[in-house]
Chains A and B, each alone.
Chain A
Amino acid sequence: MREAEVIIIGAGPAGLGAAVEAAKYGCGSVVVFDENRSCGGQLIKQLHKFFGSAEHQAGVRGFVLGQKLEEEALSLGVRIMTNSVVWGVFRENKLGVFTSDGKVQQWGFKKLIIATGAMENALAFSGWTLPGVMGAGACQTMMNMHRVLPGKRVLMVGSGNVGLIVTYQLLQAGAEQVTVIEAAPSIGGYGVHAAKIARAGVPILCSHTITEAIGPNGYVEKAVIQKLDEQWQPIPGTETELDVDMICLSVGLSPLVELARLAQCRMAYLPTLGGYVPIHDQNMRTSEPDVYVAGDLAGVEEASTALDEGRLAGVAVAEALGHPSADAAEAEKGAIRLRLRNLRSGSYGDKRQAGKENLMGRMSE
């Protein structure tokens, strides 16, 4: 059996942030597994400049941030194994991994940090299985990773930041017309993202839903949208047909908690964090003493918070293994916690902050 002092599952911002701090604070062997071909998680397809502050490399484009984190981790001696799927978490701190050469390996760890992220939610409506209906993340992967524009006349369902940003990137990639609909009475994402696409001529229709995708030839050719009343019920007679060749769904994310469940982490259901999430303490430690979590699987937020949660878990793991002095660890963790508190302040962060406090409160139950 192979062994590492610290194993991290997921090489997105949370996993890489954790790897960098764990290595920086003295962990001898840090191994990161990721099922994708390249590391960076969702960062690799984020072309826009990031929000946040200097500590989060604000103003830097997402994919560049991913590259910087990878370089930093490698320079600190972190081993990153891509194309490697962790499929099992077993008793006595063991993992099962399918590696890139098609082999099954068993890995032992002293501490495990799970940073598996989240997956897109789907939305069922008549015709939703037609080719041309896809998640916004899938569309983004096709455009920004594989240089394929999957549609030119697009209906974007959902106006959270993902929907708004992918709409912007569709326009940059050459889409002719995008319409955004939102079931809620107001736009979900940041006003600045909405303003970018509004001045590019994209209508954003609140209190609207999709009721049907029409495709007599076996692919999407039309979308039927309908206005919703104050109880979110479709208003008869308000159906409108749009000529589209793609329907993008950006209707939220759900934490990827399967491995945390296998690790026996206690869970809580918190809609404000995306659904079932592992409860954890101020150090990102779960109900299982050797298992930590960071990033979207511990509550769907954004890259900056994922990065800082990862850093926090990395420092905490190094501390638990006896590497940095308690004073040094406390100072670093305090600085990170302050940044996280700041990122969760304001009207866009209040609910997430409350959700996180709820999760941490349950640890003592």
Chain B
Amino acid sequence: MEWRSLATKGYLSPEEVRRLPALPTWERICQGPVAVIECVQDIPCDPCTTTCKFSAITIGDDITDLPKLDASKCTGCGSCVFGCPGLAIFIVDGSPEGQLGKVSFPHEYLPLPTAGQLVQVVNRAGEVICEGNVEKVLSTKASDKTPVIQVWVPKDLLMEARGIKRL
């Protein structure tokens, strides 16, 4: 399958995002936090399968096969977000009441934002798409210097918001 935008610009186009192999349904996203795996190339890598405590991610016998997500097993815990060496996994949560949902992404830049801080949220192309409040910043021994930031964004931007402007 061709991923032309990723191959020529470095990011998945919205159309390519809709073709992601393990994309959870919108219905599932609205039930609670779930992983979105943006890994579409046959590269030799499998830590996502071992960092998931719920066996929700599988790759198969060949290490270059693409990861598959069993969305019914995924709790949205976020271990795979810092476990993925490619920083290509995100957690989206459309379950909260109201207009806003939460998106979590890896952020390996200093300084880190703090909970409650208003930040500029960017899409895959690095363009600012909205402002968002930081819900929390997870940085533990297990995350091994890959902090995971959770930000509130409008629900219609949950599948676009993928980072924040560096502070």
Interface of A toward B, CB cutoff 8 Å: 48-54, 58-59, 61, 171-172, 180, 185-187, 190-202, 204, 206, 304, 342-343, 345-349
User: Which residues in A have their C-beta under 8 angstroms from that of B86?
Assistant: 51, 190, 192-193, 195-196
Name the one of B11, B47, B62 contacting A195, with C-beta atoms under 8 angstroms: B11
Report B-chain residues with C-beta under 8 Å of the C-beta of A186.
Answer: 7-8
Question: Considering the chains assembled together, what is the distance between the CA atoms of A198 and B88 in angstroms?
Answer: 12
For residue B146, give the distance in angstroms from its CB to the closest CB of chain A.
Answer: 7
Contact call B50/A54, Cβ cutoff below 8 A: yes
Task: Check: B163 CB closer than 8 A to any chain A CB.
Answer: yes
Q: Is the CB of A58 within 8 A of B45?
A: yes
Contact A198–B9 (Cβ < 8 Å): yes
Question: Does A58 lie within 8 Å of B47, measured CB to CB?
Answer: yes
B83 CB contacts on chain A under 8 angstroms: 59
Q: Determine the residue in chain A with the shortest Cβ distance to B43.
A: A190
Confirm or deny: B100 has a beta carbon within 8 angstroms of a beta carbon on chain A.
Answer: no
A/B interface sample: 29 pairs, CB < 8 A: A49-B144, A51-B43, A52-B44, A54-B46, A58-B45, A58-B47, A59-B47, A171-B166, A172-B110, A187-B6, A187-B8, A190-B41, A191-B7, A191-B10, A192-B43, A192-B86, A192-B87, A195-B11, A196-B87, A198-B124, A198-B125, A200-B126, A200-B166, A201-B165, A204-B10, A206-B9, A347-B42, A348-B42, A349-B44
Of the candidates A59, A180, A197, A346, the one whose C-beta lies within 8 Å of that of B43 is A346
Assembled-state Cα–Cα distance A333/B112 (Å): 46
Asked if A198 and B166 sit within 8 Å, CB to CB, the answer is: no
**Cβ-closest chain B residue relative to A56:** B44
Chain B nearest CB, measured from A230 CB (Å): 14
Q: How far is the CA of A180 from the CA of B11 in the complex (A)?
A: 14
Query: Given the complex, which residues of B lie within 8 Å of A202, measured CB to CB?
Result: 10, 126
- Asked if B38 CB lies within 8 Å of chain A CBs, one says yes
Given A59-B51, A187-B7, A198-B124, 5 more pairs with CB closer than 8 A: A58-B45, A61-B144, A195-B12, A199-B122, A346-B44
Contact across chains for B7 and A198 when beta carbons are under 8 A apart: no
Which residues from chain A contact B3 at a C-beta distance below 8 Å?
191
Q: Mark B104-115, 1 if CB is under 8 A from A, else 0.
A: 000011100000
Q: How many Å lie between the Cα of A61 and that of B12 in the bound state?
A: 26
B7 touches A199 (CB 8 A): no
In the complex, whether B40 has a CB less than 8 A from a CB of chain A is yes
Contact of A198 with B10 in the complex, beta carbons under 8 Å: yes
Cβ-closest chain A residue relative to B40: A191
Which of B8, B40, B63, B162 has a CB less than 8 Å from the CB of A345? B63
Would you give the shortest CB distance from A159 to chain B, in whole angstroms? Answer: 8
Q: How far is the CA of A195 from the CA of B8 in the complex (A)?
A: 11
Partner of B64, one of A196, A200, A346: A346
Do residues B85 and A197 form an inter-chain contact, with CB atoms below 8 A?
no
Closest Cβ of chain B: how far from A128's Cβ, in Å? 25
Q: How far is the CA of A197 from the CA of B11 in the complex (A)?
A: 9
Give B142-167 as 1s and 0s: 1 = Cβ < 8 Å from A's Cβ atoms: 00111000000000000000110110
Within 8 A of A (CB), among B37-84: 38-47, 50-51, 62-64, 83
User: How far does the Cβ of A202 sit from chain B's closest Cβ, in whole Å?
Assistant: 7
Answer yes or no: B123 CB below 8 A from chain A CBs: yes
| Chain B residues closer than 8 Å to A50, beta-carbon distance | 85
Q: Which of A59, A198, A304, A342 contacts B11 (CB 8 A)?
A: A198
Partner of B39 from A59, A180, A192, A204 at Cβ < 8 Å: A192
Nearest residue, chain A, Cβ from B51: A59
* Interface pair A52/B45, CB less than 8 Å apart: yes
- Minimum Cβ distance to chain B for residue A216 (Å): 32
Given contacts A51-B86, A199-B125, A342-B64, whether A191 and B41 have CB atoms under 8 Å apart is yes
B119 to chain A, nearest CB (A): 14
Q: Chain A contacts of B165 at CB under 8 A?
A: 201
Q: Closest residue of chain A to B88, judged by CB?
A: A192
Q: Is the CB of A192 within 8 A of B64?
A: no
A60 to B, closest residue via Cβ? B144
- Assuming the contacts A172-B108, A346-B64, A347-B42, asked whether A195 and B10 have C-beta atoms less than 8 A apart, the reply is yes
Inter-chain contact B6/A348, CB cutoff 8 Å: no
- CB atoms of A347 and B46 under 8 A apart: no
B44 touches A342 (CB 8 A): yes
A-B residue pairs, 7 tightest by C-beta:
A192-B86, A346-B64, A194-B10, A201-B126, A346-B42, A198-B10, A49-B85
Known: A171-B166, A172-B109, A343-B63. A197 touches B10 (CB 8 A): yes
